[in-house]
Structure 1
Amino acid sequence: MTTDLHLNRPRRHFILTATATAAGLALVHPLAQAQGLPESARIFAGFAPGGTVDVTGRRVADKLRDVLAKSVVVENRTGAGGQIALTALKIAPADGLTLLVTPMSMLGIYPHTYKKLPYDPVADFQPVSQAVRFDFGFAVGPMVPASVKTLADFVGWCKANPKDANFGSPAAGSVPHFVAELFGRAASIDLKHVPYRGTQPAIADLIGGQVASVSGPIGEFLQHLPAGKVRLLATSGAARSKFAPGVATYAEQGFKDIVFDEWFGFYMPAKVPADALNRAVIAIRNALSSPDMVEALAQMGLEARPSTPAELAALLKKDSERWAPLIKTIGFTADS
């Protein structure tokens, strides 16, 4: 794995290099720059169209057009809880024209739940930039009576209706899966897990009455709240989400240990040349820092958070180490 901008090279050197590259790019006339660009670049997304991973990738792709390449497209490589997209990135050319946007779960959680993965989360990928951070929401749908408005209400309903006590998540072994699992354990209810290929398919079944509840990124629920068919019962942050200030957190409702958030990050194949990495880092930072992008992401419950490659690598390490003992406590293994 390329380590120049990952761990070994001082961050100051990276910033100076990136600044110099940005200054160089700024001196190039836009038309001349576009004429010298590659024809196309692509961003892999491991989840279904319409979800926050997919939409984040598409928003950034729009900003990278005529900056990273003349055309930048998002390819949805769904399946295996995001692993198919990661595997595709692993074998893609390390030419700076193929990226991946992924939740942390696939890199920081899966190594603790799968005996064997088709990729090494550190050796096979080059961190580029964090994209966004977000809290999780826990929502119920038409299967659950309108009188259920809090987690305590839901716990009571589950105990009275054990056969219907279930929840959907975007993938088995993902953070939203474990957040709901920890909630069920803390509440002493047997919440059965129903995995999906993304949160939006889970919400579709929630609205259709096929599943009682869904745990997923808070932004996935926002568009469905006005119609009233989806009701948020809790959010997972340390404080109430600014995107749903009227909804109490898990901690406020008595589940003090359920305080979690997550992030999406951009990655490239390992051994991508330093100049190609620098170009991508600068382009993504500029994209995520633009006011219209910040506003567009906020509408999906996402906070734009660009970073350096080294910062993203350190963040992944920290989160993976936090989840390791929790997963052991839960006892989940994806291979069982």
Structure 2
Amino acid sequence: MPFSAGSNTDLLARAFGAQLEGMWKQAVVIENRPGLPGTASVAKAAPDGYTIMLTSNGHSIIGSLNQSLNFDPIKDFAGITQVASQPVVMLAPIEGPKTVKDLVDLAKSKPGQFNYASAGVGSAGNIASELFKQVAGVNLVHVPYRGTPEANISIMRGDTAIFMSFYNASGDLVQSGKMRALAVTAPKRMPVMPDVPTMKEAGYGDVDFDGWFGVFAPVQTPKPIIAKLNKDLATVIADPEQRKRFTTLGVDLVGSTPEALDKLLASDAARYGKFFTPAAAAAK
């Protein structure tokens, strides 16, 4: 897993791994190897089904962010199944704009003078913020932090104008009144935040960002093994207790076919990769 312990991906992996251990009657080791080394280790692993990767949709843009990879993030991986879907929440300081429109008007009046926070380059918040910038036509400067906690602090201090984050990473700070939620990138309001409008309701329906998580194997993994892993993960996804647990965290457990995940990865690479090309970076 190319993420640190305590991340959204780590939470999913450990919950799924515990159930798979019971099903398979053997140990499932969750190995945190943050960043490109972790991803590369799976790309180069033996295609025998014993090394698989749980990652986020940030995987779709690493080819655009890194021009000299020793693996192909699309061609060197075979999708097994999507496991979860999670919208992001646009957060702002309590003393900042009260609506998305207020934010846009303010940013347009002072282009390039406001920042947006993220949990790091290539994170879900980074991708969602770049999409928002394009749709809203605003110039916000990216300030990547070393993880969600630092980005949360930047919002509470008023150092940055917005932070696109997950509910289970920042929602408690909204509920306690330490920051304001302006909108969510879901097609409908989140049950855990019923008073927060969707981006469509806020007037920016094209910001339809879905933070998804999926499981992949090395590309040469035989199809019967992919099918077996897909079937067993589908059993975990369908477990009522797991679904209930993650729903309270703002996460929807969803499965897919291997082919659907491959298609999703490729389409996101085409959709969001253009925001992170050298030409795009030079234009910022």
- Fold match, TM over 0.5? yes
Q: Secondary structure at the match of 1:74?
A: coil
2:8 is matched with which residue? 52
2:123 equivalent to 1:171: no
2:187 equivalent to 1:235: no
Q: Which amino acid aligns with 1:311?
A: A
Q: Within 5 Å, give how 1:1-336 maps onto structure 2.
A: 44=1, 46-68=2-24, 70-79=26-35, 83-106=36-59, 108-141=60-93, 144-145=94-95, 148-155=97-104, 165-184=114-133, 186-187=135-136, 189-207=138-156, 210-323=159-272, 327=275, 332-333=280-281
Seen in structure 2, the aligned counterparts of structure 1 residues 164 and 67 have a Cα distance that, compared at 3 Å, is farther
Moved more, 57-66 or 88-97: 88-97
**Distance apart, 1:288 and its partner CA:** 0.9
Does the 8 A contact of 2:127 with 2:272 survive in 1? no
Does the 8 A contact of 2:62 with 2:73 survive in 1? no
**In structure 2, what is the Cα distance between the partners aligned to 1:249 and 1:265?**
24
Give unmatched runs, 5+ long, in structure 1.
Answer: 1-43
Q: Provide the TM-score with structure 2 as the length reference.
A: 0.84
Does the 8 A contact of 2:77 with 2:216 survive in 1? yes
**In structure 1, what is the Cα distance between the partners aligned to 2:74 and 2:104?**
39
Q: Secondary structure at the match of 1:65?
A: helix
**Distance apart, 1:140 and its partner CA:** 2.0
Does the 8 A contact of 1:89 with 1:268 survive in 2? yes
**In structure 2, what is the Cα distance between the partners aligned to 1:183 and 1:161?**
17
Q: Provide the TM-score with structure 1 as the length reference.
A: 0.72
Q: Which amino acid aligns with 1:77?
A: R
Q: Which amino acid aligns with 2:16?
A: V
* CA shift digits 1:142-165 (9 cap, x unpaired): xx51x6321233345657888872
Seen in structure 2, the aligned counterparts of structure 1 residues 61 and 188 have a Cα distance that, compared at 3 Å, is same
Does the 8 A contact of 1:128 with 1:281 survive in 2? yes
**In structure 2, what is the Cα distance between the partners aligned to 1:332 and 1:94?**
36
**In structure 2, what is the Cα distance between the partners aligned to 1:223 and 1:95?**
41
**Distance apart, 1:97 and its partner CA:** 2.0
**In structure 1, what is the Cα distance between the partners aligned to 2:70 and 2:154?**
30
Does the 8 A contact of 1:61 with 1:73 survive in 2? yes
* CA shift digits 1:65-119 (9 cap, x unpaired): 133452223222223xxx332112112333322221111221x233344433332
**Distance apart, 1:272 and its partner CA:** 2.4
Does the 8 A contact of 1:64 with 1:283 survive in 2? yes
Does the 8 A contact of 1:182 with 1:330 survive in 2? no
Q: Which amino acid aligns with 1:97?
A: Y
**In structure 2, what is the Cα distance between the partners aligned to 1:330 and 1:300?**
36
Q: Percent identity?
A: 28
Which has the larger Rg?
A: 1
**Distance apart, 1:294 and its partner CA:** 0.6
